[in-house]
Amino acid sequence: MRVLGIDPGSETLGWGVVESIGSKYKLVDFGTVRSSPRAAFSKRILKAYEGLFEIIDRFEPSVVSVEEAFYAVNPSVAIKLGQVRGAILLLAEQKGLEIAEYSPRLIKKTVVGYGNADKRQVQEMVRLLLGLKAIPEPHDAADALAIAICHFHHAGLTEKLRAQKLKPR
C-alpha cells in the first residue's frame, strides 16, 4: 500500500508519500506545494490542486490521508482551510482513491505518543520511524509524513477488526 499524507494549507501544503513493505513502511518522497500569500485565494487553491494532481500521477498512491479541520481562533482561517481540504477531497474522489481523515491530536498521539506534541517532536519521531538521517523539513512536509504514518497504524487496526468480524464463531 502507498499512502499520500497531506497537511492542508493555502500558502504551504505539505505532502509525503510512504509505502508499506510487509509490516513495515518506508519513505518514498516528500515536499510542499507553495503559493504566494499575495495571490488571490482562488489561485492558491488551484495551485494546491494542480500540485497534488501531479504528485498523485507521479507516485500513484492507493490512499490519501488528510488532516481533519481543527478549531481555529480566527474563523476566516478555518473557512479557508476547509476550502483547501474540499479541493483535496474532490481530487482524491476524482482519482478514485481511498480517503482517510485524522484529527491533529490523533496524529500526534499515534506518531509521538502524546496528543499535544510540538512540531519538533513530530519531526523527530518521523525521522526515527522512517530511518532518516535528518528531520524532514519544512514542518509541513514532516506533518504530512506523520499523517501517512498515522494511517498505516490505524488502517492495520481496521483491517484486523474487519477480519475478526468475518471469522465464524
Total count of domains within the chain? 1
**Catalytic one of 19, 67, 137, 159:** 67
**Catalytic one of 7, 54, 93, 118:** 7
Least Cα distance to 142 among 8, 51, 12, 7 occurs for 7
CB 84 within 8 A of CB 49: no
How many of the other CB atoms lie within 10 Å of CB of 107?
A: 27
pLDDT at 77: 83
pLDDT tens, residue by residue, 97-116: 999 999 999 999 999 988 88
The most confident of the ranges 20-24, 113-117, 125-129, 164-168 is: 125-129
The answer on pLDDT for 147 being more than 80 is yes
Question: Is residue 67 annotated as a catalytic residue, yes or no?
Answer: yes
pLDDT at 166: 55
pLDDT tens, residue by residue, 52-104: 999 999 999 999 999 987 666 778 888 899 999 999 999 999 999 999 999 99
Beta strands 12-21 and 2-7 are: antiparallel
**Catalytic one of 29, 57, 140, 159:** 140
* Continuous segment of H or E residues that includes residue 128: helix 119-130
Q: What's the Rg (C-alpha) of the chain?
A: 16
Question: Is residue 68 annotated as a catalytic residue, yes or no?
Answer: no
Q: What is the mean pLDDT of residues 18-27?
A: 88
Question: Is residue 7 annotated as a catalytic residue, yes or no?
Answer: yes
pLDDT at 22: 77
Q: What's the grid cell of residue 89?
A: 477531497
| Strand segments (E) across the chain | 2-7, 12-21, 24-34, 63-67, 98-102
Q: Which residues span the domain enclosing 81? A: 2-166
CATH of the domain at 28: 3.30.420.10
pLDDT at 23: 75
Least Cα distance to 4 among 23, 27, 21, 24 occurs for 27
27 vs 155, more confident = 27
Q: What is the mean pLDDT of residues 33-49?
A: 96
73 vs 124, more confident = 124
